[in-house]
Amino acid sequence: MANKYDELFTDIEKRILGLIVGAKILNDLTDIRNKYLSKKGEFSVLMNKIREVDDKKAFGEAYNFARKEIEEALNKKFEEFKKAALEIELKKQAIDITLPVEKYKSGSMNPFYKVKREIEDIFIGMGYTVENGPEVDSDKYVFELLNIPKDHPARDMQDTLYIDDNLLLRSHTSSVQAHVMENAKGKPIKIICPGKTFRRDDDDMTHSHQFAQVEGLVIDKNINLGNLKATLELFAKKMFSKDSKIRFRSSYFPFTEPSVEVDVSCFNCKGKGCSVCKGSGWIEILGAGMVHPNVLKMSGYDPEVYSGYAFGIGIERVAMLRYGIDDIRRFYQSDIRFIEEFNKKVED
């Protein structure tokens, strides 16, 4: 709304608008705002003249009108600068979607680990929990608490690598039985323990100085050999084939009585006899038995009240049978071609 005071502000307004148009960077605008519009700014102080004029209302209107125009121009320019800055930033971050992508090869799991997990899954499904134990252990847990006293000839079968007279690399996962029983303090037990084992073996197609087992241990009232057989038969059916059968052959382990070697019917020829089962129709897969009363007693269980069974499965052996692998050393050589091959077979 035009009035007689408008002219008072025309020059300075033009000057400021000119400066705004000429601003090159955001800082120029801030400078303009400070110089003219701050409390003591060149434009702001013009308001003081209101004391000298007679029509104060008209003066105020003229002042406000000019100030509003300047502020609007300033804000508009601020927005322009911000938008331009954003555009530059976006351009910098732009992704060239026309570039060809780099091809990543996805990894595949070593058949050893596949089988280890499958074994774990099968037993977890039967209510077992998974335990761990030390790979470097003392004579007490690896041998003595398992009814293998010093100088017992059974130690020869499981000669291992010694750290000192007492500490050794465990020759079987049965050592975990002793730890678990000690910790359970007379309570029922139902566990498996997968893990590495070590023996003083020459490495050949079927032996390695390091291999892995899954130990199983169940202790409770009224546990019998029939429970062991049913458990292992279910395991064989899930692991190999739904028609798998198992058989027990009597054997000897110092920590079980009676002890058995467990054979599974050959899933390749269904028992007729082939190269996988060496013509017999059966394949040995594990050792097992009823926990020896001495072992129960040494770990604080009354053998008159409690009984239990234990078994030890060779993981590599199961994996070799399952996938037709001829040489145990292949599991440890990290040959990607080998590992990929067995991945395909599983997914087929």
Residue 261 or residue 341: which is nearer to ligand PHE going by CB? 261
Residue with tokens 């079987």: 172
- 24-32, 117-125, 283-291, 326-334 -> range binding ligand PHE (CB under 6 A): 283-291
What pairs with residue 190 in β-bridges? Answer: 218
Among 231, 256, 265, 307, binds ligand PHE (CB under 6 A): 256
Of the pair 110, 174, the CB lying nearest ligand PHE is at 174
For residue 200, the minimal CB distance to ligand PHE (Å) is 14
Contact between 214 and ligand PHE per CB under 6 A: no
User: For the chain, how are helix, strand and coil distributed in percent, rounded to 5?
Assistant: 45, 20, 35
Binding status of residue 311 toward ligand PHE by CB under 6 A: yes
Region of 26-34, 87-95, 110-118, 309-317 interacting with ligand PHE (CB under 6 A) = 309-317
Rounded to the nearest whole angstrom, what is the least distance from the CB of residue 250 to ligand PHE in the complex?
Answer: 12
The phi, psi pair for 311, rounded to 5°, reads -150, 155
Q: Which residue, 11 or 156, has its beta carbon nearer to ligand PHE?
A: 156
Applying CB under 6 A, does 253 fall inside the site for ligand PHE?
yes
Asked if residue 147 binds ligand PHE (CB under 6 A), the reply is no
Residue 312 lies near ligand PHE (rule: CB under 6 A): yes
β 129-130/189-198 pair status:
parallel
CA 57 centroid distance within chain: 76
Cα separation, 150 vs 124, whole angstroms = 35
Tell which one of 111, 133, 287, 308 touches ligand PHE (CB under 6 A): 287
Contact present, 222 and 203 (Cβ < 8 Å): no
Q: How many whole angstroms separate alpha carbon 172 and alpha carbon 176?
A: 9
- What is the spatial distance between Cα 177 and Cα 133, in angstroms, rounded to a whole number? 9
Stretch that binds ligand PHE, among 33-41, 42-50, 187-195, 304-312 (CB under 6 A): 304-312
**Residues present in the chain in total:** 348
Q: Which residue is nearest to ligand PHE (CB)?
A: 312
| Least distance in angstroms from the C-beta of 132 to ligand PHE | 17
Tokens of 290: 């009823």
| DSSP reduced 3-state for 250 | strand
Contact 172, 198 (CB under 8 A): no
Residue 172 within binding range of ligand PHE, rule CB under 6 A: yes
Cβ partners under 8 Å of residue 187, min gap 6: none
Between residues 34 and 224, which has the closer beta carbon with respect to ligand PHE? 224
- The residues of the shown chain that bind ligand PHE, judged by CB under 6 A, are 172, 174, 253, 256, 287-289, 310-312
